[in-house]
Amino acid sequence: MEGVFALFFIFSNLLLIPHPSSSFPLCTNSEAPLTLNTTLKFCSYNGSSCCNSTEDSQLQKQFEAMNISDPSCASLLQSVLCARCDPFSAKLFTIDSVPRTVPILCNSTVSTNSSQSNQATNDFCSKAWDKCQNVSILNSPFAPSLQRQAGAPVNSNFTKLTELWQSKTDFCNAFGGASTNELVCYDGEPVTLNKTGTPSAPHGLCLEKIGNGSYLDMVAHPDGSNRAFFSNQPGKIWLATIPEVGSGRTLELDESNPFIDLTDVVHFDTTFGMMGIAFHPNFVQNGRFFASFNCDKVTSPGCAGRCSCNSDVNCDPSNLGSDNGAQPCQYQSVIAEYTANNSATQPSSAENANPSEVRRIFTMGLPFTSQHGGQILFGPRDGYLYFMMGDGGGGGDPYNFAQNKKSVLGKIMRLDVDNIPSAAEINRLNLWGNYSIPKDNPFSLDEELLPEIWAYGLRNPWRCSFDSERPSYFMCGDVGQDLYEEVDIISKGGNYGWRVYEGPYLFNPTSSPGGNTSANSISPIFPVMGYNHSEVNNETGSASIMGGYFYRSNTDPCMYGRYLYADLYGGAIWAATENPENSGNFSTSSIPFGCARDSPIQCTTVPESALAALGYIYSFGQDNSKEIYLLTSSGVYRVVPPSRCNYTCSKENVTAVSSPSPTSQPPSRANQLSPTKVLLSALLLLFLAVA
């Protein structure tokens, strides 16, 4: 029997090894907590919870069935059961993907650098033992089957802790734990994290210009080298070599020799073009990569897909009317697969790819000519393809597509492109192309959702990224309508509110032929950061968010761990700091930025004005060294050590940075844009403007 206990203690301690993932509010089903309209009756959670009223009632029935005679033990067991409703329940009940029957009970005997409040003085695990050790509990959550086999009473499901555990120490070795940066523990109350005080914002972001081209997307080469792919809106992809920071060299990219040229199939216009590229996680072996673009069925015979306005979503295309002279669903959103397998002995060494399409992964007709997103990227953990789709346009999402669970508009989709079903299976499932559905997509929990959907209630997600250190932080910028630009942490099955809400504000549509969704019928997940349009000072009077990345390079140590994002029009850049770490609570500040005086490509100082900074900021990029890039209408910029712009960073080792010439001019703010370049830039990315 002692051997069995020892084996279980080893297993239990293995469970308590911290997992290097997030602790931001997340439920055990991987969904974000619900926003409650009323307080739960049994578990007393309010505001935010992982339980609805039905689940609250189920927990109450489970508790009553335990038939606990001692009131103090009963009260403690009620709180332990109700921890299922805690907004941090995913971390309380799951360690290294192993589910637990009870949460991790705070144990002050465990040495820790705890960030959870009261952890240093609260020993909830000892309290549980002291109050319940000799109390009979029917079907006790502390009595897993292993203990029953090890000697618990066989003629009764009533057990006492002393029948299962030799001592308090043994009990707390199995069920106790401490709060760390990766782990939270339960102390009898809803989990709260201590704030350490908001760190001061960096003094400035220093950039160097390494390229003159204008690109819409950047993807690091999957082989881990210093190469990356850059794509533009008309439909070309280039393979470039990136110089080391501080080398004084520029981006090695031959504009005359693209990696692949898809301009013959891509429909390029102010609101259309190639929207995203993604390279298979095993590209080095299989050479597979994907392009997301728009086509025109009037001019391209191969551009034919089902209209997103159809009987499935109670939408009649004949009622849409014309949009900028276009027929409804004349323009299509496409994901196509290509290969670099035949152009080199190994795909990783390929410098060109075959422009012939391998297969059409997805094709869908668009109801209007704006708000159709189009970014694609592979999940770093699951290897599935995520597809960001806007609400389809029309101004205020008049057909309420974003809230319609049978529409893929206003959604983030999650597709399996490694297991291609047969044509018969595709038709049976009414899929949009050649892909299969991951079994753990949210439809498995909500049968009303289309199986492709991972998250919904988005207006126009523009630039999403997974944190390279914490892949569960899936961040997306979502373009607003009239008032607010937002950044969301995307979670499984999450509803991000549009068009019931625009950011944190209720939205009142001017036209609703597709019907409305009431605010009290949904549990929206509100943005973790963002800005009002009034906060952006520019000549256009518009605002459009560019989602970015968590900064994970040591080049600027004062920027490390902050999430960077920007506005398309205003030349404004924000840095967001999470406090406490892993809490999902962010504070943001607009940060000044300048161009290094020794930039490989000169950055000219210009007067302060709307487009005086970098021109239009189209997107962010990240290379294999975790360096961050800005893709703008005036060129490609990279974040460099702050001292090169005379910005102060106490964490920077200035001696390791090349000193600028003492005769250099003060840090420049950006490249001056000629009137011609401004006009061309405006044509390139007006698809992100508010409808």
Among 269, 374, 373, smallest CA distance to 326 is for: 269
With a CB cutoff of 8 Å and minimum separation 6, the contacts of 588 are 529, 531, 574, 575, 576, 577
SS (H, E, C) 249-309: CCCECCCCCCCEECCCCCCCECCECEEEEEECCCHHHHCEEEEEEEEECCCCCCCCCEECC
Identify whether 191 is part of a domain: no
Q: Is the same domain home to 74 and 214?
A: no
With a CB cutoff of 8 Å and minimum separation 6, the contacts of 338 are 260, 288, 289, 290, 291, 353, 354, 355, 356, 357, 358
Average pLDDT over residues 138-154: 59
Q: How far is CA 232 from the centre of its chain?
A: 23
Say if residues 204 and 590 touch (Cβ distance below 8 Å). no
Identify whether 601 is part of a domain: yes
DSSP label at 93? H
Q: Tokens in use for 491? A: 């979670």
**CB-count exposure of residue 653 (10 Å: 0-12, 13-18, 19+):** exposed
Q: How confident is the model at residue 254 (pLDDT cuts 50, 70, 90)?
A: very high
The one-letter amino acid at 141: P
Residue 669 has pLDDT above 50, yes or no: no
User: Element (H or E) spanning 81, and its range?
Assistant: helix 71-82
Say if residues 619 and 217 touch (Cβ distance below 8 Å). yes
Backbone dihedral angles phi then psi of residue 91, each to the nearest 5 degrees: -85, -30
Residue-level pLDDT at 263:
98
Q: Is the same domain home to 164 and 226?
A: no
Average pLDDT over residues 630-645: 95
Residue 660 has pLDDT above 60, yes or no: no
Q: Is the same domain home to 157 and 254?
A: no
Identify whether 60 is part of a domain: yes
Q: How far is CA 143 from the centre of its chain?
A: 38
Identify whether 631 is part of a domain: yes
Report the C-alpha gap between 262 and 277 in whole angstroms.
12
Say if residues 260 and 238 touch (Cβ distance below 8 Å). no
Residue-level pLDDT at 159:
86
The one-letter amino acid at 91: K
Residue-level pLDDT at 613:
63
Q: Is the same domain home to 228 and 162?
A: no
Backbone dihedral angles phi then psi of residue 304, each to the nearest 5 degrees: -145, 115
Pick from 21-35, 155-169, 638-652 the range whose average pLDDT is largest: 638-652
Token pair 């066989």 is at which residue? 154
Q: Count CB-CB contacts under 10 A for residue 7.
A: 12
SS3 456: strand
DSSP conformation letters of 557-626: TTTTTPEEEEETTT--EEEEEESSTTSS-EEEEE--EEE-TT-SB------SSTTSSSS-EEEEEE-TT-
Q: Is the same domain home to 383 and 297?
A: yes
Q: Is the same domain home to 364 and 465?
A: yes
Q: Count CB-CB contacts under 10 A for residue 440.
A: 14
Q: Tokens in use for 73? A: 């033990």
pLDDT tens digits along 41-57: 999 998 899 999 999 99
Residue-level pLDDT at 204:
93
Q: Is the same domain home to 397 and 340?
A: yes
Lowest mean pLDDT among 193-207, 284-298, 656-670: 656-670
DSSP label at 85? G
Residue 475 has pLDDT above 90, yes or no: yes
Token pair 């152009």 is at which residue? 343
Residue 116 has pLDDT above 50, yes or no: no
Report the C-alpha gap between 34 and 85 in whole angstroms.
10
Residue 612 has pLDDT above 80, yes or no: no
Lowest mean pLDDT among 179-188, 271-280, 638-647: 179-188
Question: Taking the CA of residue 550 as centre, how many other CA atoms within 13 Å lie in the half-sphere pointing to its CB?
Answer: 19
pLDDT tens digits along 491-513: 999 999 999 999 999 999 988 99
Report the C-alpha gap between 648 and 523 in whole angstroms.
44
Q: What is the mean pLDDT of the chain?
A: 86
Q: Is the same domain home to 527 and 667?
A: yes
Structurally, the chain folds into a number of domains equal to 2
Cis peptide before 597 (omega within 30 of 0): no
Question: Taking the CA of residue 569 as centre, how many other CA atoms within 13 Å lie in the half-sphere pointing to its CB?
Answer: 22
Q: Which long-range contacts (CB under 8 A, 24 or more apart) does 562-567 make?
A: 562/202, 563/475, 563/487, 563/529, 564/205, 564/620, 564/628, 565/477, 565/487, 565/529, 565/620, 566/617, 566/620, 566/630, 567/485, 567/531, 567/536, 567/538, 567/543, 567/617
Give the CATH number for residue 247: 2.120.10.30
Q: Count CB-CB contacts under 10 A for residue 584.
A: 19
Bridge partner list, 413: 387, 453
Residue-level pLDDT at 94:
80
Average pLDDT over residues 259-280: 97
Residue 114 has pLDDT above 50, yes or no: no
Residue-level pLDDT at 569:
87
Domain boundary among 177, 192, 220: 177
Report the C-alpha gap between 462 and 619 in whole angstroms.
8
Residue-level pLDDT at 275:
98
Report the C-alpha gap between 441 and 452 in whole angstroms.
7
Average pLDDT over residues 196-216: 89
Please tell me which residue, 484 or 152, carries the higher pLDDT value.
484
DSSP label at 673? P
DSSP label at 4? H
Backbone dihedral angles phi then psi of residue 638, each to the nearest 5 degrees: -130, 145
Q: Is the same domain home to 522 and 586?
A: yes
Residue 539 has pLDDT above 90, yes or no: no
Longest dimension (CA), the chain: 89
Bridge partner list, 621: 629
Residue-level pLDDT at 581:
87
Q: How far is CA 617 from the centre of its chain?
A: 20
Lowest mean pLDDT among 83-92, 380-389, 503-512, 661-670: 661-670
Residue 677 has pLDDT above 60, yes or no: no
Report the C-alpha gap between 472 and 99 in whole angstroms.
17
pLDDT tens digits along 14-30: 333 233 344 689 999 88
Identify whether 184 is part of a domain: no
The size of the chain, in residues, is 691
Domain boundary among 162, 177, 192: 177
Domain boundary among 177, 195, 223: 177
Average pLDDT over residues 99-120: 65
Domain extent at residue 469: 205-688
Please tell me which residue, 569 or 403, carries the higher pLDDT value.
403
Residue-level pLDDT at 17:
29
DSSP label at 680? H
Residue 146 has pLDDT above 60, yes or no: no
**CB-count exposure of residue 324 (10 Å: 0-12, 13-18, 19+):** exposed
Report the C-alpha gap between 674 and 682 in whole angstroms.
12
Torsion angle of the four alpha carbons 473, 474, 475, 479, in this order, in degrees rounded to the nearest 10: -160
pLDDT tens digits along 271-307: 999 999 999 999 999 999 999 999 999 999 889 999 9
Q: Is the same domain home to 284 and 171?
A: no
Residue 578 has pLDDT above 70, yes or no: yes
SS3 145: helix
Q: Is the same domain home to 216 and 171?
A: no
Q: Count CB-CB contacts under 10 A for residue 483.
A: 15
Residue-level pLDDT at 97:
67
Bridge partner list, 619: 631
Identify whether 200 is part of a domain: no
Identify whether 198 is part of a domain: no
Say if residues 417 and 438 touch (Cβ distance below 8 Å). no
DSSP conformation letters of 487-538: EEE--TT-B--TTTEETTEE---S--TT----GGG--PPPPSEEEEGGG---
Q: Is the same domain home to 166 and 209?
A: no
The one-letter amino acid at 20: P
Identify whether 192 is part of a domain: no
* Model confidence, pTM: 0.87
